[in-house]
């Protein structure tokens, strides 16, 4: 069979080198050499975004400057708010994809332009959602990236919840050659501009097998009235050979360290409540029956719900963070570029002749 000659989904294939992130032998996700969970626990979003994008943890002064840069550039320019009123898009990922293309950017140096693009994600998502609901856009607050994003999504200024939120944002930031990043690297390898490459990544993140799993997890987790009901649901799904959202991962075959970190944080927020127990029971059951680990999206969904964030924002939130990883990959690809153009094994007809 010709199909057996190709590594479907590039499963197990290394396609390039990277110094941005990896998973070490103990299953830890590393950002530029540091454990992502340690960074989430002890660093700010801006510090980690600087580390990912520019390759170095910033000094206090660099960190303040970067934070200021993100704040200063975050407002939407041109006619975007006007266009949002006319062209209402119900899917926020579609809004993000469109408005990232339309924004008039000020910076031309690639690193700064990538940071500028990223800085606008929170306003695009928040304003687009609010305009769709007939509400006026909110002005950003004078807080950190996480505090501001939290405010723009909830209308609440809550530093404690914003800090919990920030930890998840940090864990979403980077994951080497995931599908959206790979799409971006393919685009970057043609020497296209940063905006076009980021649009390719947004489009790829939108798919349910990549970024769209977290809100589906919430739908089933919140539907159960008992642990038995929860386990019956997963058992039936497994029997029907259906995918259960929030489980499985191309890289993590035993444990997703990010999911385990968020699980601990979630317990700090909600304690041993019914829904927390259903979630952990499902995790244990699926591991026992199928040896599939819970991935980050499994616990992230409940975590975001607990923080009072509406489901429609879950995937765009992922994008607000991952955009810094995408930026780093754009720069890395272009620093040592060769166009990504693989081969295929042809299985169609040959030698057909026209009448
Ligand atoms: N529920 C049930 N079975 C699953 C599963 C899930 N979530 N994820 C994988 N499996 C099963 C597959 O059906 C396959 O079983 P088989 O060997 O009997 O055919 C086996 O586990 C291997 O899975 P595969 O789909 O080949 O793994 P992958 O590396 O190609 O895919 C994902 C990884 C993440 C796309 C996949 O696990 C998935 O679709 N998960 C659900 C979506 C999700 O949570 N995405 C967020 C990712 S962070």
Give 262-307 pLDDT, tens digit per residue: 999 999 999 999 999 999 999 999 999 999 999 999 999 999 999 9
For residue 267 the two structure tokens come to 């317990």
Q: Which pLDDT score is estimated for 186?
A: 98
Q: Rg (Cα) of the chain, in Å, rounded?
A: 21
The whole-angstrom separation of Cα 127 and Cα 198 is 20
Question: What is the layout of strands, in order, in the sheet containing 21-23?
Answer: 21-23, 29-31, 34-35
Q: Which pLDDT score is estimated for 3?
A: 65
Q: Provide the strand spans (E) within the chain.
A: 21-23, 29-31, 34-35
Single out the residue of 170, 169, 195 nearest to residue 184, CA to CA: 195
The whole-angstrom separation of Cα 113 and Cα 262 is 31
The whole-angstrom separation of Cα 131 and Cα 218 is 25
Q: What does the pLDDT look like over 327-351, one tens digit per residue?
A: 999 999 999 999 999 999 999 999 9
For residue 76 the two structure tokens come to 């939407």
Ligand 1: distance of its center to the CA of 96 in Å? 27
Which ligand 1 atom sits closest to the C-alpha of 238? 2
Q: Which residues line ligand 1 (CB under 6 A)?
A: 9, 209, 213, 243-250, 290, 292, 295-297
- Enter the DSSP assignment of 340: -
Question: Do residues 238 and 244 lie in contact, with contact meaning Cβ atoms separated by under 8 Å?
Answer: yes
The whole-angstrom separation of Cα 163 and Cα 196 is 32
Centre a 10 Å sphere on the Cβ of residue 25 and count the other Cβ atoms it contains.
Answer: 5
The whole-angstrom separation of Cα 279 and Cα 9 is 30
For residue 161 the two structure tokens come to 């919840």
139 is annotated as an active-site residue: no
The answer to whether residue 311 scores a pLDDT higher than 80 is: yes
Reported as type and span, the H/E element at residue 79 is none
The answer to whether residue 208 scores a pLDDT higher than 90 is: no
| Atom 17 of ligand 1, residue of closest alpha carbon | 290
Among 50, 175, 297, 329, the one annotated catalytic: 297
- Enter the DSSP assignment of 313: G
329 is annotated as an active-site residue: no
* Mutate which of 248, 283, 299 for ligand 1 pocket (most atoms within 8 A of beta carbon): 248
């Amino acid at each position: 069979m010709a199909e057996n000659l190709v590594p479907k989904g590039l499963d197990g294939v290394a396609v390039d080198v990277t110094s941005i992130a990896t998973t070490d032998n103990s299953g830890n996700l590393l950002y530029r050499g540091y454990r992502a969970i340690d960074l989430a626990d002890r660093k700010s979003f801006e510090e980690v975004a600087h580390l990912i994008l520019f390759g170095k943890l910033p000094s206090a002064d660099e960190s303040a400057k970067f934070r200021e840069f993100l704040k200063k550039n975050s407002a939407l320019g041109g006619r975007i708010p006007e266009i949002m009123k006319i062209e209402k898009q119900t899917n926020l990922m579609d809004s993000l994809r469109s408005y990232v293309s339309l924004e008039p950017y000020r910076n031309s140096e690639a690193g700064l332009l990538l940071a500028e693009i990223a800085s606008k994600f929170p306003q695009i998502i928040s304003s687009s959602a609010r305009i769709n609901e007939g509400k006026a856009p909110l002005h950003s607050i004078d807080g950190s990236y996480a505090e501001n994003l939290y405010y723009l999504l909830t209308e609440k200024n809550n530093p404690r919840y914003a800090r919990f939120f920030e930890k998840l944002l940090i864990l979403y930031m980077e994951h080497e050659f995931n599908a959206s990043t790979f799409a971006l690297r393919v685009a970057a390898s043609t020497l296209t501009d940063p905006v076009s490459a980021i649009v390719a990544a947004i489009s790829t993140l939108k798919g349910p097998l990549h970024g769209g799993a977290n809100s589906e997890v919430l739908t089933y987790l919140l539907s159960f009235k008992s642990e038995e009901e929860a386990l019956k649901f997963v058992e039936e799904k497994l029997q029907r050979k259906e995918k259960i959202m929030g489980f499985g991962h191309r890289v993590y075959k035993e444990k997703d360290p990010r999911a385990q970190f968020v699980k601990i944080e979630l317990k700090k927020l909600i304690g041993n409540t019914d829904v927390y127990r259903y979630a952990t029971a499902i995790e244990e059951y699926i591991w026992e029956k199928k040896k599939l680990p819970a991935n980050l999206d499994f616990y992230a969904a409940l975590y975001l719900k607990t923080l009072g964030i509406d489901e429609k924002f879950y995937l765009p939130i992922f994008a607000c963070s991952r955009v810094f990883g995408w930026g780093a990959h754009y720069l890395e690809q272009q620093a040592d570029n060769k166009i990504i153009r693989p081969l295929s094994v042809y299985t169609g007809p040959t030698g057909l002749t026209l009448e």
